[in-house]
Amino acid sequence: MSESWETFYLMVGSSSAALIGLLFVVVTLNAETNSAAREAGSRTFLTPIVFHFAMVFLVSTLALMPDVNTRIMALGVSAISLAGLGFGGAALVRMVLGLFPVPHWTDYVYYGGLPVVIYAALLASGAGLWFGAPFAVHGLAVAALALLFLAIRDAWDLATWLAYHRESP
């Protein structure tokens, strides 16, 4: 990645890493919910959010690595994308099959559909990096930023849901 992108990825990666730390507050709130619901909800909602933040951090660190080969970057981004497609697809399947009650119809979009779309765009950017397509650098940045904003939205949604669904002592 060129030096002109350094500030962008430094900001995006640092934000993602900091938000992973803040997500531990959500985990603390989650400790006061029903244990069966907590486990199912964690797999469906919490784990993908942490995963999205971690993938944004990983993409940012790959982009900031000095003298990284473009093909290595393309392979790393593609691997991240495939893992993300798996996470998004698995969350969507769990929701559709009713393995966890979905509180609102938008959860299908934000926890299942959008992650799949963003990781597919990230995969296209990885392929573009491999083949030297001019859109790839910008596509990678847009996908990383979209994933960061999606994870922020989902973390906020989860935190507010948990705040309203705490067990009474």
Based on C-alpha coordinates, what's the Rg of the chain? 17
The residue among 165 and 140 whose pLDDT is bigger is 140
Where does the pLDDT of residue 129 fall: very low under 50, low under 70, confident under 90, or very high at 90 and above?
very high
Task: Give me the amino acid identity at 18.
Answer: A
Q: How far apart are the first and last CA of the chain?
A: 53
Contact 62, 68 (CB under 8 A): yes
Q: If you average pLDDT over every residue of the chain, what do you get?
A: 82
For 86-104, how does the pLDDT look when each residue is reduced to its tens digit (9 = 90+)?
888 887 888 888 776 777 8
Contact 24, 156 (CB under 8 A): no
Model confidence pTM above 0.85: no
For 8-18, how does the pLDDT look when each residue is reduced to its tens digit (9 = 90+)?
878 888 888 77
Please give the Cα distance from 112 to 102 (Å, whole number): 11
Poorest-pLDDT segment among 20-24, 28-32, 79-83, 139-143: 28-32
Please give the Cα distance from 106 to 139 (Å, whole number): 25
For 40-80, how does the pLDDT look when each residue is reduced to its tens digit (9 = 90+)?
556 667 778 888 888 888 888 888 888 888 899 999 999 99
Q: Is 47 exposed, middle or buried (0-12, 13-18, 19+ CB in 10 A)?
A: middle
